[in-house]
A and B are shown apart, each in its own frame.
Chain A
């Protein structure tokens, strides 16, 4: 047993939430029932009028947290840089929004905000004094498709290394460790007419130990271009770039700054493993590195539910939590 802790991102339950099957309170009760320690919330998803949530909502949230005993771990925030249709926000406007988000996270009792990938890096240094004052860590999401070799991610990590503050770090999306393309996504696109030749082409790339990241960002190789027959085919290739197949050692230089993990998953198999991501090996790596933070389940398979089928994130999260518990 290591000191790695388990959380759930309520992103996982978005369909249950939107259909009224689970309220915010119901989500936390579910976590309490299955013995999860921490919770991660997208405030823009389950709170209204953010980042200026009213006092009543904050009070209600604190009551739910207290009654369920679930620990608020991470608040996923966004800066709406393209708030206006005719211009991007200025640096000052972005900074003002980030500060409001930090204050709200603090008021809700979150010790950390997850900055979405592509958050402008030029506001970080100026926001840091407020983050320190409020005791809220700012951690950039390192998302598959935009991981460490991405220019925007690098801008942030350069500042992070330079400032070397305990209030700056990273949230790593485990989608960068896909050994296979998620088959629920493949099934979803095949249902819409995806060319099976393309499925094989992408699967072969993963099987060779590589990933389609470069491919989906650049002009397609001639043999693949010839296989493209429809919009669906092209979409599938672009989305395939959102699953990276990196060695765990890619984290080595960043581990001291990793504050949190998004335990991304699309499909728990009958064997009790995730179809694409080798969690057992990942957790072995993290134990070896002495990681003591959380891994938060982030179920993303719901978006690939076939027409006419129900999304059951509750069961999927339970299965993933069982798996995480057994490896930790």
Chain B
């Protein structure tokens, strides 16, 4: 129901490190109504132009400074993804995405305290690489 928070407009960009494009990133807000420790972010899934991104290539940052793999995140209880704070989803991919429009589907799955099954938020948007 808060699915329209998932994918921030104009937030898809290639990431350059030491002169090389190492991947791409996008911004996302939590589809829940409060902040949770990262260990409760159950999963993040990315699909680009209908193609699913391998889980191992995905990194998440709650603040744009610290990044974790999804496996690492299972044990991260000392940092929270705060409500309203845009998290960064980074996909490691040499060369990044080709210029132009891409159809991005981003899904986030969280465990919350009183709902027995993890719940997910998903949004698909056509974004242009910045």
A126 CB–B CB distance under 8 Å? no
Determine if A303 and B83 form an interchain contact, defined as CB atoms under 8 angstroms apart: no
Given contacts A17-B84, A82-B113, A303-B2, contact A45 B77 (CB under 8 A): no
B4 CB–A CB distance under 8 Å? yes
| Interface residues in B, total, Cβ within 8 A | 24
Please tell me which stretch of A73-81, A170-178, A244-252, A278-286 contacts chain B, meaning at least 4 of its Cβ atoms lie within 8 angstroms of it. A73-81
Which residues of chain A are near B77, meaning CB under 8 Å? 83-84
A-B pairs under 8 A by CB, number: 64
Docked pose: A48 CA to B35 CA in angstroms: 8
Given contacts A82-B113, A83-B39, contact A18 B80 (CB under 8 A): no
Determine if B113 and A80 form an interchain contact, defined as CB atoms under 8 angstroms apart: yes
**Among residues 81 to 95 in chain B, which have CB atoms less than 8 Å away from a CB atom of chain A?**
82-84
- Residues 1-31 of chain A: 1 if any B CB is under 8 Å from the residue's CB, otherwise 0? 0000000000100100110000000000000
Q: How large is the interface on A (under 10, 10 to 19, 20 to 34, 35 or more residues)?
A: 20 to 34
Determine if B33 and A49 form an interchain contact, defined as CB atoms under 8 angstroms apart: no
Which residues of chain A are near B4, meaning CB under 8 Å? 307
Closest to B4 in A: A307
A148 CB–B CB distance under 8 Å? no
A50 CB–B CB distance under 8 Å? yes
B96 CB–A CB distance under 8 Å? no
Q: How far is the CB of A181 from chain B (nearest CB, A)?
A: 16
Given contacts A79-B113, A82-B111, contact A11 B83 (CB under 8 A): no
Determine if B40 and A82 form an interchain contact, defined as CB atoms under 8 angstroms apart: yes
Determine if B29 and A116 form an interchain contact, defined as CB atoms under 8 angstroms apart: no
Given contacts A18-B29, A42-B33, A83-B37, contact A118 B113 (CB under 8 A): yes
- Residues 39-62 of chain B: 1 if any A CB is under 8 Å from the residue's CB, otherwise 0? 110100000000000000000000
Q: Other CB < 8 Å A-B pairs besides A80-B37, A81-B113, A83-B77, 20 of them?
A: A14-B33, A14-B83, A42-B33, A44-B36, A45-B84, A48-B82, A50-B35, A50-B80, A78-B113, A78-B114, A80-B40, A83-B37, A84-B75, A85-B39, A85-B42, A85-B74, A117-B114, A118-B114, A303-B1, A303-B2
Listed by A's residue number, 16 A-B pairs whose Cβ atoms lie within 8 Å are A14-B33, A18-B29, A18-B83, A45-B33, A50-B35, A50-B80, A78-B113, A79-B113, A80-B36, A82-B40, A82-B111, A83-B39, A84-B77, A117-B114, A304-B1, A307-B4
Residues of B within 8 A of A (CB): 1-2, 4-5, 29, 33-37, 39-40, 42, 74-75, 77, 80, 82-84, 111-114
Closest 8 CB pairs of A and B: A44-B34, A118-B114, A303-B1, A18-B84, A45-B34, A45-B83, A82-B111, A78-B113
